[in-house]
Structure 1
Amino acid sequence: MRRLVLLAILLTVIVGGCLGQAENGKPSPTSSSSTFTPPGTKYDVLKEGQEAPIVRGINAFAVDLYRELAGGEDNLFFSPYSVETALAMAYDGASGATREEMGKVLHLPSENDTRWVGFRYLLLSLKTSNGSPYVLRSANALWIQRDYPIDEKYLWVIRTFYLGRVDKVDFVNDPEGSAREINDWVEEQTNGRIKDILSKLSPDTRLIITNAIYFKGNWSSRFEASETRNGTFHSPSGPVTVPMMHQRGKFPYFENNELQALELPYEGGRLSMLIILPREGKFEKVENELSTEFIEDIMNGTTEESVKVTLPKFRVAQEYHLRDILADMGMGSAFKVPGFSGISPGGNLVISDVLHKTLISVAENGTEAAAVTAVTMTLAAVPGQENFKVFNADRPFIFLIYDRETGAILFMGRLVNPKE
C-alpha cells in the first residue's frame, strides 16, 4: 500500500543594501568585481561523502532550532534544510564577527571548498530523475536590485554551488511588481502550494534570496480510508476526539523504557518519516534528550517488526519570527552590525527579521506540507498470527522527514494537539 506525500517548502531571504544585478545566470554589468575569473574545472568532479559535513550541520541546526521553538505546548513544524540553505547563502557573503557567529549557529564548515562542494553535492543528490517514484527538488534564486553593484565572486558561488539563478528587479521604483514576480516564481516552484508570500516590500530592499524545496511521493504502505475512525488523542490540555488512521504491517521499529519509534518509508525507499512517541508521562524527558546522536541511535536501532499502527490525521500551520531566537542562539551581530561586505563591498547591510511560515497536512492518502521563510536584510540604520507491536500515536509525538541516503533532516516537528 502506498501513501501520497506532497511537501513544498520555500525559503526567502530579503536583503536591503548596496547590491548589483544579474539575470538568468549571466554576469551583471554592474558587478563590483568584474575581473573575477572562476577557477576552471577544479570543482567539476563530485564524490560521495562530500555532503557529510553539510548534513551534520543541518541536523545539528535542526535540533538546536527545535529546542528554541519548543517552549510552551504548541504544535511545531519547520524545515531546517531550507533555513540552513538560505542562511548559508547569506553566510557566503558575510565577514568578520557576523560570519563567525553565523558559522557557529549554522554548524557550517569554515573552509570554503568543503562547504561549497558539500552543498553542491547535496542539492544535486536531492534531485529526482524522470521515472522516479517520487518527486524531490530544491531550487535557489537571487533577486537583485537593478543598478546596484554586487561582488562577481559571490554570484559565481551562488550559481555554481547553490545552483541558484540570478534575476534583476526594481525594489526601489516598483516594489509591488518585484513582489509579484517573486511570488510567481514561488508558486511555480511549489506547484501552487505557496502563494503571495510577499505582500509589501520596502524600497530599501536590495536583495531577496529564495530557496524552495518540494516533495511529492507515496508511502510504501498506505492507510486505508475505510479503516479511519474517530479516536481519542491525549493532548496536554485534555483529551480531544480526532480521526485516527489504522494499518498493520512490517516497519522499522524501536522501543525502550522511555519511547517507541516508528519509521514509515516512502515509495522508492530513500525518504522516510520517523515518528518518536514518548511513553506516557515521558514527553518532556524525551524532548530534553533530543540530539543528533539521540536520533541516530534510534535510526540505527530499528528492526523490522510487525506493527499495528494508529496515527491521527492532522494539519499544522505555524508562523515564526526567528530574529530574536537566532540572536539568542548566538548570531546577534547579523542583526546589529553591518557585516556582509562579501555580497557588496562597502554595503551597510544587516538582517532585520527572519519569518518562517509552515503548513503540513497528514491524511490517509498522503501528506501535504509547505513552508516559507523570509530573512529581511536592510541598511543599518497485513494481519496474521504474529505478535504485533502496538504503536498507538494517541498522545504528543515528535516527527521528522529525512533522506535515508545522506541522512539529512528535511522537515521536523511535533504534534501536541491535532485539533489546533
Structure 2
Amino acid sequence: MRRAVLFALILIVLIGGCLGGDGGTPTSSPEPQFTPPMTKYDVLEEGQEKPVVKALNAFAFDLYRELAKDDDNVFFSPYSIEVALAMAYEGARGETAEGMGSVLHLPLDEDTRWTGFRYLVLSLKSPEGSPFILRSANALWVQEGYPLREKYLWVVREFYLGEVRKVNFQGDPEGAAKEINEWVENQTNGRIRDIVGRLTPDTRLILTNAIYFKANWSSRFEAINTRNETFYAPNETVIVPMMHQTGRFPYFENDDIQALELPYEGERLSMLIILPRKGKFELVEDSLKAGLIESALKSMKPESVEVIIPKFQFEKTYRLRDVLMDMGMERAFTNADFSGISDGPLAISQVVHKSFISVAENGTEAAAATAVTMTLSAPVEKEEPKIFRADHPFIFVIYDRTTGAMLFMGRLMNPKG
C-alpha cells in the first residue's frame, strides 16, 4: 500500500480599517516616491536563507513552550506564523518593529532578511519530476482604493513572492471572503476551507500564505502489522492502533531521549521524533531548543531499529494574541505603528492558528491555518535492532533537510486527543 503524506498550511493576515470613503482604485501612497533597485537582488546565493531559518527555528521553540503549558496535544506550523508576521513586520516601525523583530528573531539588516526569505520561499518548491510535492504561496488582498506604500508592495512581491489582488471588503465583504477562501482551498488541495469567516467592511488588507506537502515515506508501514496496544498518556492509559516496522533509520539515544528520523521519498523532508525516556518528558521539554535538535541530528547514525508508533489524528485551535503579547509583541496590538504599510493607524487585533494532523499507515496528512487580524486603532546488517517504542508522550518536527527549516512542530500526549 502506498503511503501518502500531505501537509497543508495557510497563513492569513487580515488588516482592517475604519477610514472614511475610498476613492478611485490606487494601490499605493503617492508619497514618498520609491524607485526599486533594478539589479541589486537578482542573484540568489546558497546560504542566504540561514539567518531567517535560524530565526524561524528559534521562534518555533519559543512558541512551542508557550503552547505546551498544559497536558494537551500540540501542533502548529512555525513557518506559517513566522512568514505571516514577517510580512506584517515589513510595514512596522519604531517600538512596534522592535517588539515584533525580537519575538520573531528577525535579522535587523534588510538585505539579509529580504534575501533570506526570498531564498527560503523559492526553495520550498519541489522540482519537476520529484517524488514529492512541496510548494508555498503568498498573496496580498487589498481593499479597492486603499493606498499602500510602493516600497511595502515591492517588498511583498520581490522577497515574499506575494501576489497583489484587489477585493471589495467595504462593499461586498462576503464576496471578498469567498474569493480568498477559494484561493486558500485551491492552494491546499481542498484541505483548508472557509479560513476567512465573516469580514467587516472595516477590513483593509489580508495577507495569505499557504504551504503544501505531499509525499510517501521512504520506508512504509504495512497495515497488516498494525495492532491495538497500550499508550501511556499523562493521566490515563489508552488502547490505540500501533504501527510496526523494522529497518535502518537515522537514530540517536542517550540517557534522556531516543531520537528517530523517518524520511519521506526524495530524502528532502523528514519527520524527526524526540522520544523522552519514561519519566523524563518534562525534563526534556524544559531543555528543548534548536541546539538540542541540531545536536541530535548531528549525532544520528543509521541503525537497525524496530519502530513502533501510534496512529493518531487531532486538530487544534490557538488564539495567540495574549501569547504573543506575553512574548514581547505588545506594541503590535496596542498603540501600533504600521506606517510602513499605510498612513492608516493599523494594529493587530487577534492571531488565530488552526491545525490538523493525521498519521496512519497510508501516510501523514496535516493542515494549518493562521489568521492575523489587523484593524485601525546499504545491505542490512544482521544485528539486534534498537527498540523505538513510542507508547508514551513524544515531540515531533517535520523539517526541510535542505535548509533546516522547521515547517511543522508538535507533541503527542494522547493519541485519542
The TM-score normalised by the length of structure 1 is 0.96
Q: Is the 8 A contact 1:248 1:306 kept in 2?
A: yes
> What CA deviation, in whole Å up to 9, does each residue of 1:357-376 have, x standing for no partner?
00000001100000010000
- Aligned equivalents of 1:48 and 1:411: distance in 2? 23
Partner residue, 2:351: 354
Cα distance in structure 2, aligned partners of 1:115 and 1:372: 24
Match of 1:375 in 2: 372
Structural mapping, 1:185-264, within 5 Å: 185-264=183-262
SS at match of 2:204: strand
Letter in 2 for 1:17: G
Q: Distance in 1 between matches of 2:381 and 2:29?
A: 70
SS at match of 1:149: coil
Q: How far apart are 1:47 and its partner, in Å?
A: 0.3
Q: Secondary structure at the match of 2:129?
A: coil
Aligned mates of 1:319, 1:144 — CA distance in 2: 26
Q: How many Å apart are 1:33 and its aligned residue?
A: 3.8
Pairing 1:419–2:399 present: no
Name the aligned partner's letter for residue 179 of structure 2.
Answer: E
In 1: Cα distance, 2:273 partner to 2:89 partner: 32
Q: How many residues align?
A: 410
SS of the residue corresponding to residue 371 of structure 2 reads: strand
Tell me if the contact between 1:33 and 1:153 (Cα under 8 Å) persists in the aligned partners: no
Q: Distance in 1 between matches of 2:18 and 2:28?
A: 11
Q: Is the 8 A contact 2:8 2:213 kept in 1?
A: yes
Q: Which residue is 2:38 aligned to? A: 40
1:375-394 aligned at under 5 Å gives the runs 375-380=372-377, 385-394=382-391
Q: Once the 2 structures are TM-superposed, how far is the Cα of residue 338 of structure 1 from its aligned partner?
A: 2.8
Structure 1 CA distance for aligned equivalents of residues 62 and 368 of structure 2:
19
For residues 14-413 of structure 1, the aligned pairs below 5 Å read 14-17=14-17, 29-33=26-30, 35-345=33-343, 347-380=344-377, 385-413=382-410
Alpha carbons 2:18, 2:202 under 8 Å: kept: no
CA contact (8 A) 2:248 2:380 kept: no
Q: How far, CA to CA, are the matches of 1:29 and 1:204 in structure 2?
A: 17
Q: Identify the residue that residue 5 of structure 1 maps to in structure 2.
A: 5
Asked whether the 8 Å contact 2:355–2:367 carries over to 1, the reply is yes
For the residue of structure 2 that corresponds to 1:332, the secondary structure is helix
Q: Distance in 1 between matches of 2:272 and 2:200?
A: 41
Deviation at residue 3 of structure 1 after TM alignment: 3.2
Residues 151, 343 of structure 1: 8 Å contact kept: yes
Q: 1:51 to 1:383 in 2, by over 3 A?
A: closer
Any gaps of 5 or more consecutive residues in structure 2? 20-24
Offset at residue 260 of structure 1 (A) = 0.4
* CA distance, structure 2, for counterparts of residue 173 and residue 338 of structure 1: 27
1:355-403 Cα shifts (integer Å, max 9, x gaps): 00000000011000000100000011x9974110000000000000001
**Residues 55 and 103 (structure 1), Cα distance of their counterparts in 2 relative to 1, 3 Å cut:** same
The one-letter code of the counterpart of 2:392 is R
Contact 1:3 1:266 in 2 (8 A): no
Q: Distance in 2 between matches of 1:393 and 1:149?
A: 53
Q: Given that residues 253 and 263 in structure 1 are in contact (C-alpha distance below 8 angstroms), is that contact kept between their aligned partners in structure 2?
A: yes
After TM superposition, the score normalised by the length of structure 2 is 0.96
AA partner of residue 145 (structure 1): Q
Q: Which moved more, 1:198-207 or 1:30-39?
A: 30-39
Match of 2:22 in 1: none
Give the alignment's Cα RMSD to 1 decimal. 1.4
Does structure 1 retain, via aligned residues, the 8 Å contact 2:261–2:273? yes
2:197 counterpart SS class: coil
Aligned partners of 1:196 and 1:230: how far apart in 2? 35
2:26·2:146 contact (CA, 8 Å) conserved in 1?
no
- Distance 1:310-1:383 versus aligned 2 partners, 3 A rule: farther
Partners of 2:147 and 2:4 lie apart in 1 by 45
> Conserved in 2, the CA contact under 8 Å of 1:135 and 1:214?
yes
| 1:247 counterpart letter in structure 2 | Q
Cα displacement string for residues 32-74 of structure 1 (whole angstroms, at most 9, x for unaligned residues): 0474221011100010000000000000000000000001100
> SS of 1:180's equivalent?
helix
* Counterpart-to-counterpart distance in 2, 1:268 and 1:395: 30
Contact 2:308–2:389 (CA under 8 A) maintained in structure 1: yes
Q: Which amino acid aligns with 1:3?
A: R
The share of aligned pairs that are identical, in percent, is 67
The one-character-per-residue Cα deviations of 1:138-187 (angstroms, maximum 9, x if unpaired) are 10000101111110110010000000001011111111111000000000
- In structure 2, what residue type is equivalent to 1:372? A
- Rounded to whole Å, the distance in 1 between the matches of 2:345 and 2:296 is 46
Note the C-alpha offset of 1:299.
0.8
> Any idea what SS the aligned residue of 1:327 has?
helix
Query: Does the 8 Å contact 1:3/1:220 carry over to 2?
Result: no
